[in-house]
Amino acid sequence: MEQLRLRKAEDDEALKRLVVKNTEAIRKMAELEEALRQAGDKLEAVRVEARAEGKAEAEKAAADAAREAAEEAERAKTEAAAKAREDAVAAFV
């Protein structure tokens, strides 16, 4: 009986740690999604400016830079999700 209570207490602690880590991962993913949105906004602003100035080359360079920023943010988001999954598994091992 004591072993069951001890195991339950350990599981409860592991669950608490998992909730904290998942909350942190969710916050990080929200930050990364906001970064993606901002990159998209910047891209659109540069496109509008480039069109107004008639500079297709500047538009392409800006699009490339924004795409790279978005890809990096997406990679970071994917890595954060993978880390959260690893932490979830590790919490109960």
pTM for the structure as a whole: 0.53
pLDDT, position 60:
80
- Provide CB contacts within 8 A for 80, sequence distance 6+: 25, 28, 29, 32
Domain holding 46, by residue range, is 11-91
Q: Which amino acid is it at 33? A: E
Is 2 within a domain? Answer: no
DSSP characters over the chain: -HHHHHHHHHHHHHHHHHHHHHHHHHHHHHHHHHHHHHHHHHHHHHHHHHHHHT-HHHHHHHHHHHHHHHHHHHHHHHHHHHHHHHHHHHHT-
Is 6 within a domain? Answer: no
Is 1 within a domain? Answer: no
For residue 93, pLDDT over 70 is answered with no
pLDDT, position 1:
86
Q: What is the number of domains present in the chain?
A: 1
Give tens-digit pLDDT for 26-61: 888 898 888 888 888 888 888 787 777 766 777 788
